[in-house]
Amino acid sequence: MLKTLREKLVNLLSKKWLHHLVILYVGGLFLLCAGLHIGNEMCLETEAAFWKSLVTTPEPETCVVCCNPHSPTFHAPCLLDLSTGQLTELMIYEPSCIYPGELAENQSLNHSVIMFTKSGDPLFIDRLKDIQRCVTYIPGQYEEPMNPAHYCRNCRAILARTATKGYVLLDLFRLDEIQVHPIEEGAEYNIRIYTVSVSHDQDSDHLTITNIGHLFTS
């Protein structure tokens, strides 16, 4: 029986169409492996170039994280686009006109407004008796790499420990103790009198960033 099977196998391999099929299969397998190898090499080269740029890119005159010209400190957590360097404070309460980074003593609780970031993204701010919050949206699949030209070398290192693409959440209330948190679906962070949560809107494929304030409950 084994002899018969061996003879049939030899007969099949002797047929030209099967011989060509085997050659095509082996050739295709070789090209696939070669393509995967080249793709992997390109990814490694891109990653190496990125980490090199963190060290070699000249520092800016003003780092958008630790030397932001618009305000010495931020009371509320901030959303940072690592690629563009756009920093957005998820502000809820009225800031103090006297002390930078502090809140005004008197807060009105009948305030609802829509503001827009530099990129045109909306910020929905509610400062009411029942709820104090700031809500914004970012693309769910946004993974543009960090542009180190926006940051000093110290801040590049601080940011890269948490993320090198997309967005991060920052606590810049004390610039000597900058806190960085990843933006991930389902994440929730308690930052002083704020609670920031991240959820996914499947209909629009956006991430919803919600900052809840607890000034009057803390």
Bin 44: left if φ > 0, else alpha if -120 < ψ < 50, else beta.
Answer: alpha
Domain span at 162: 78-213
Q: What is this structure's pTM?
A: 0.75
Of residues 201 and 192, the one with the higher pLDDT is 192
pLDDT value, residue 39: 46
Confidence (pLDDT) at 31: 53
Dist CA 210 CA 207 (whole Å): 10
Q: Is residue 218 part of a domain?
A: no
Concatenating the DSSP letter of every residue in 20-87 gives HHHHHHHHHHHHHHHHHHHHHHHHHHHHHHHHHHHHHSPPPSS-TTTS-TT-S--SS-EEEETTT--E
Report whether pLDDT(8) > 70. no
Query: Does residue 154 lie in a domain region?
Result: yes
Higher pLDDT, 130 or 53: 130
d(CA 89, CA 99): 17
In this structure, the answer to whether residues 91 and 178 fall within a common structural domain is: yes
pLDDT digits (tens, 9 = 90+) for 55-64: 888 999 999 9
Residue 153 has pLDDT above 50, yes or no: yes
Instruction: Assess if residue 48 is contained within a domain.
Output: yes
**Is 4 a residue whose pLDDT tops 70?**
no
Domain presence at residue 61: no
Confidence of residue 9 (pLDDT cuts 50, 70, 90): very low
Do the domain assignments include residue 90?
yes
pLDDT at 12: 46
* Element counts in the chain: helices (H) and strands (E): 3, 10
Query: Does residue 108 carry a pLDDT above 80?
Result: yes
Residues 114 and 32 in one domain: no
pLDDT mean over 31-37:
52
Q: Looking at the predicted structure, is the pLDDT value of residue 5 above 60?
A: no
Query: Is there a single domain that holds both residue 49 and residue 104?
Result: no
pLDDT above 80: residue 160: yes
